[in-house]
Amino acid sequence: MVRYAGIEGGGTTFVMALGSGPEDLSTPIVFPTEEPERTLERVVEEIRRAGDVDAVGVASFGPVDLRRGSHTHGNILETPKPGWSGTSVVGFVQQAVGLPVGFDTDVNGAALGERRWGAAQGLESFIYLTVGTGVGGGGVNRGQPMHGLNHPEMGHMRIPRHPDDDFPGTCPFHGDCLEGMAAGVAIEARWGRRGEDLGPQTAPAVELEAWYLGTALANLCLSLSPERIILGGGVTKLPHLLDGVRQRFLDSLNGYVTIPEVLDVGSFIVAPALGSRAGVLGALVLAERALHPAP
């Protein structure tokens, strides 16, 4: 039986597990994202310790270089994360363990996991938007992880402001882009406390979140015509947020789209099904794809 090493490389922690799917997954090992060499050494150490691994998959924080033929393919691109800009993740791991290494963004990885075992089974094209500390977007198009020239950066799309909102936004590049207005960092800056501690400010915070996220999902529906949108990440655990997003999504479309699958908004905009295991499970799919590349 094949065995893969799946690694979810986050900006704060790395999560790693071995197996071939949800029924056959080792207890994930979690370790902090320190300086690159030390972190990747730990990955290599765990793979060697496990032995008997056929391929490795890494679903990484970004931005990353996924361009075919690029001499920096598999690297982390320019990032504010100290020391990580230019780190060759694929090169480091491949050279150390001599195994095929699949690589993609964390959100494209999670999307592949949801397609195989979760909320997007049987779908050829869907979007996965995750709202945590930042906002990441990706998904699958015609059965393949969503790539263009490189990978999408949906978190930085521009969204019209809520009419009563004068918050400047927290994105260092754009101020009030989607991430700058709706990510966890923005919630903390706007309300002075984290999403789970909002108390009486929860309802107004949820209204604003629903506005920005619902509008963003309408834009994604209009521009990419996915079969479904999965909305995940810590921020989406705010009470009643998903209902608010669905309502704002419909209000923003304002009757323009009449396709029944879209109007059945409870099935069109859904939560992830794999929970915190989506990242490592998706990384297993990346490993499998590296072992058996599509013709």
Residues found near Zn ion in the complex (CB under 5 A): 156, 171, 173-174, 177
Closest CB to Zn ion among residues 165, 227: 165
Closest CB to Zn ion among residues 153, 227: 153
Closest CB to Zn ion among residues 81, 156: 156
134: left (phi over 0), alpha (psi -120 to 50) or beta: beta
Cβ 11 to Zn ion shortest distance, Å: 16
Cβ 68 to Zn ion shortest distance, Å: 26
Q: Which 8-state DSSP code applies to residue 268?
A: H
The closest alpha carbon to 28, from 278, 292, 287, belongs to 278
Tokens of 16: 């790693």
For residue 34, the one-letter residue type is E
CA distance 177 to 159: 6
Closest CB to Zn ion among residues 136, 272: 136
Cβ 168 to Zn ion shortest distance, Å: 12
What stretch of H or E contains 138? strand 135-141
Closest CB to Zn ion among residues 178, 270: 178
Cβ 199 to Zn ion shortest distance, Å: 28
Cβ 193 to Zn ion shortest distance, Å: 23
Class of residue 258 by CB neighbours under 10 A (exposed 0-12, middle 13-18, buried 19+): exposed
